[in-house]
Amino acid sequence: MAPATVTIASGATWQEVVADRQRHRDATVAEIRPPVPAVRKEDIPLNTTGIPKKLLTEQEVQITNTDVEDLVKKITSGEWSSATVTNAFLRRAGLAQKLTNSITELLPKRALDKAAELDQYLAANKKPIGPLHGVPISVKEHIPIKGEDINAGFVGWVGQVAEEDALIVQYLESAGAVIFARTTQPQTLMQIETDSNLYGITVNPYNTTLSAGGSSGGEGALIGLRGSILGIGTDIGGSIRVPAASNGLFGYKPTSQRLPTAGWVAAMAGAESILAAIGPISTSLEGLRAFSKSIIDQKPWFKQPSLVALDWRDSAQYYPERKLRVGVIYDDGVVRPHPPVLRALNEFVGKLQKSPGVEVVEWKPWKHDLAWSIIAKIYFADGGADVKAAVNSSSEPWRPLAKFILHENPDVTEHTITTLWKAILERDDYRTAYAKLWNENPVDVILSPAGPGVATKHGTGRYWGYTSQWNLLDYPAIIFPTTDAVTDAPREQPYEYPEGYQPLNERDKYVYGLWKEHGAEGFDDEKLFRAAQILLEEAGLPTAVPA
């Protein structure tokens, strides 16, 4: 396998470092056998999702179109070998890289060696090694893989090599998973798009003029094109959920300290004002459950004591024979969702209201503008100094959205110890007030848009209050797709804001402006991805929305 460490002199320019990383990525793709089909840039359509079927073998398409729960059955029954499955995903991931720019490197030797071990174990023992036996899993780059570069999206950090796998990777492999690909992330990791100097822009497989989301956007694009069906993302403000929503996938942000984070690399390590979470993105709801349960069943708190020591519990323990009570947020009171989002949410709620097992109530957001103000003030307690130093260490230029959040955001605050204490008290007071609201009007889950719009035009993703709300509260959340609006049929009712609409504030004005500029030409005609946050990991909602 191509070496992970950089091969250039220590005094290299940032451009030379970038060139080296991209050469390395391309070399790992070139290792795949049979070779990944060539694709000319000029032949790539806006919607790339139909390309794999044309360029891969029938069996490779069948394998990679299979969700986690069925893939495990196929492998453990002996119908498909783990080696065959792994190679199929390596080829589709290599193709996905050429179509969406979502890979930092493939890991063919590691993956195929592991697959061979699994096949030998199954043959010898007549049983799987674990619940994820043979399932290929992709990994966001800042989660370490032993022997590989770990740069977290900073050019200046290239050359750091992981001494061991991150703890979550160790648990997944113990459960039988095959680690086969690493995926892109944005500069600073603090964007809801994926754009870095190291690898450029990761694009949406359904429309390459749109974003794949961020910061786990490489995972979103790769899984959206089914170059993977299960991957690891991280989330401090929406970084699992926005890519899942942008690519029509399932995504799970657990409560912080639920799944193991030990070993991951990022700026501001040790910051505790808002804790990031680690979790899965998948093509199915069952993929999220299998991923999470396989780790929790191994009791990871014995190796990372800061984790919540709570066994996986069946949903029946929480939901006796009564209706599931669902609160609905249509608008967070800060930024009004674009018309297609509200239309899809209303249609979905209409279906829920017809279900005898569900009671739907409106959930009135409580000071979500205050929530955004609080979390924005404590994201960067040092005023962004650590992140800025990491970017500036190589003289790489600031990417537009990284510059926006760190240099143009008036909410970023450099705290003293005293002002940080005060900000933490504000955070805790808000959590207490929201809990009181919940206790006064108890619901089982809250259904909400994943954001004010569908997948954004590149460089425009500036508001993530619909997802960061739940990071501030530290509530678990699940994204699931509800509607696909790709259609050539004429619309009965055009999507539009109310006549004479006046934006609520500057943030709403910005998002409203995106609709007026791009709505009819970009957002409106593309795949319509919706999301809803589900409070408990064991909520037991169906894996597909009724037609």
Least Cα distance to 333 among 469, 460, 426, 523 occurs for 469
Q: What is the pLDDT of residues 176-223, one digit of tens each?
A: 999 999 999 999 999 999 999 999 999 999 999 999 999 999 999 999
Q: In this model, does residue 330 exceed pLDDT 50?
A: yes
- Confidence band, pLDDT 50/70/90 cuts, at residue 538: very low
Q: What is the DSSP string of 371-403?
A: HHHHHHHHHTTBTTHHHHHHHHTTTPPPPHHHH
Spatial distance between the Cα atoms of 314 and 334, rounded to a whole number of angstroms: 36
CB atoms within 10 A of CB 164: 12
pLDDT confidence of residue 377: 95
Q: What does the DSSP 8-state code read for residue 49?
A: T
Q: How many CA atoms lie within 13 A of 483 on its CB side?
A: 22
pLDDT confidence of residue 10: 64
Spatial distance between the Cα atoms of 183 and 105, rounded to a whole number of angstroms: 7
Q: In this model, does residue 31 exceed pLDDT 70?
A: yes
Spatial distance between the Cα atoms of 505 and 465, rounded to a whole number of angstroms: 14
DSSP-assigned beta bridge partners for residue 477:
253
Distance of CA 287 to the CA centre of its chain: 14
CA angle in degrees (0–180, nearest 5) for 119-98-9:
90
Q: What is the pLDDT of residues 423-472, one digit of tens each?
A: 999 999 999 999 999 999 999 999 999 999 999 999 999 999 999 999 99
Q: What is the pLDDT of residues 180-192, one digit of tens each?
A: 999 999 999 999 9
Q: Which of 82, 98, 138, 140 is catalytic?
A: 140
pLDDT confidence of residue 525: 28
Spatial distance between the Cα atoms of 171 and 30, rounded to a whole number of angstroms: 29
Q: What does the DSSP 8-state code read for residue 149?
A: B
pLDDT confidence of residue 423: 97
pLDDT confidence of residue 3: 38
190, 10 contact by CB (below 8 A): no
CA angle in degrees (0–180, nearest 5) for 138-140-143:
110
pLDDT confidence of residue 541: 40
Q: Which of 82, 138, 228, 239 is catalytic?
A: 239
Mean pLDDT across 33-62? 96
How large is the greatest C-alpha to C-alpha distance in the chain, in angstroms?
71
- If phi > 0 it is left, if psi is from -120 to 50 it is alpha, else beta; for residue 365 that is beta
- Confidence band, pLDDT 50/70/90 cuts, at residue 32: very high
Q: In this model, does residue 544 exceed pLDDT 50?
A: no
140 tagged catalytic = yes
Q: In this model, does residue 1 exceed pLDDT 90?
A: no
Least Cα distance to 252 among 1, 25, 532, 19 occurs for 532
- 133 class by beta-carbon count within 10 Å (0-12 exposed, 13-18 middle, 19+ buried): buried
126 tagged catalytic = no
236 is in an annotated binding site: yes
201, 206, 210, 214 alpha-carbon torsion, rounded to 10°: -60
CB atoms within 10 A of CB 2: 15
pLDDT confidence of residue 519: 65
**CATH number corresponding to 16-302:** 3.90.1300.10
239 tagged catalytic = yes
Domain range list for the chain: 16-302, 321-523
Spatial distance between the Cα atoms of 74 and 327, rounded to a whole number of angstroms: 39
pLDDT confidence of residue 540: 37
446 is in an annotated binding site: no
Least confident segment among 124-138, 153-167, 346-360: 346-360
- Confidence band, pLDDT 50/70/90 cuts, at residue 50: very high
449, 531 contact by CB (below 8 A): yes
Helix axes 465-473, 368-379, angle to 10 degrees: 80
237 is in an annotated binding site: yes
Q: Which of 215, 216, 256, 292 is catalytic?
A: 215
Q: In this model, does residue 373 exceed pLDDT 90?
A: yes
Protein fold of 321-523: Amidase signature (AS) enzymes (3.90.1300)
- Confidence band, pLDDT 50/70/90 cuts, at residue 546: very low
174 is in an annotated binding site: no
Least confident segment among 113-117, 445-449, 486-490: 486-490
346: Cβ–Cβ under 8 A, 6 or more apart, which residues? 330
Q: What is the pLDDT of residues 377-398, one digit of tens each?
A: 999 999 999 999 999 999 999 9
| Backbone dihedral angles phi then psi of residue 137, each to the nearest 5 degrees | -130, 130
Of these ranges, 135-139, 323-327, 360-364, the one predicted with the greatest mean pLDDT is 135-139
- Confidence band, pLDDT 50/70/90 cuts, at residue 7: very low
Least confident segment among 151-155, 247-251, 278-282, 518-522: 518-522
pTM given for the model: 0.93
Least confident segment among 9-23, 119-133, 313-327: 313-327
